[in-house]
Amino acid sequence: MYKLERHKHCKISDRLNDGRCNWNWKEIPTTTEQLRELHMLTNGVNTFQLVAQSDRWVCNLSSDGLFYVNVLRTQIDWRNMMPREVSIKWTHEVPVKINCFIWRAKFDRLPTAHALTRRGIQLMSALCPYCELEEQDTTHALFQCPLASKVWEYVGHWCNIPHLHFQSAEEMVKYLGVIGSLKNKEQHHPD
């Protein structure tokens, strides 16, 4: 984002005004990495309230505003875990990163075109870049897009599970929950 900024010495107040972002990029962010960073940046500044005083560095992870490595380490560890305020069936059948991805899908935290647009990020198009038939939201990207359907078909074939297809992240989570509980009871006998 810093590389794309047109005026490197601009003030925060030049870019944030009444909760709105006034970006001034040398070129519109378009790559996946740029959009991901822009998404994080927009999310990060959404809660900012500007006050009439000089800019200064404050670490909001600690109560005294100072930066401590151990506090940051604790935060990183915590963020890598599932948030506590929302429960989701933890499925031991799949890797942790997949559980995290499923959690993000269920609570619509994936940086889809729909999510980015909703956060005020300007995209060339909000349509799914693969089929260009519908807006790319989580449900479309993971379940409804013809490409996604094809991937599910292959996965079902590899896992010997016929007709493996979900309509939503919610449905997928329920399915994984059932698989997990069946496994726990040792009643699951895959063909």
Closest CA to 35 of 154, 152, 116: 116
Side-chain-facing half-sphere of 30: CA atoms under 13 Å? 6
* Region binding Zn ion by CB under 5 A among candidate stretches 14-22, 26-34, 138-146, 154-162: 138-146
Residue 130 interacting with Zn ion (CB under 5 A): yes
| Residue-wise burial string across 92-127, b where 16 or more C-beta atoms lie within 10 A, e elsewhere | eeeeeeebbbbbebbeeebbbbbbbbeeebebeebe
Cα–Cα distance for residue pair 120/12, rounded to 1 Å = 18
Residue 126 interacting with Zn ion (CB under 5 A): no
Near Zn ion by CB under 5 A: residue from 116, 121, 145, 172:
145
Q: Taking the complex as a whole, how short is the minimal distance between the CB of residue 141 and Zn ion, in angstroms?
A: 7
Residue 149 interacting with Zn ion (CB under 5 A): no
Near Zn ion by CB under 5 A: residue from 113, 128, 142, 169:
128
* Region binding Zn ion by CB under 5 A among candidate stretches 42-50, 74-82, 130-138, 172-180: 130-138
Residue ranges that bind Zn ion, judged by CB under 5 A: 128, 130-131, 145
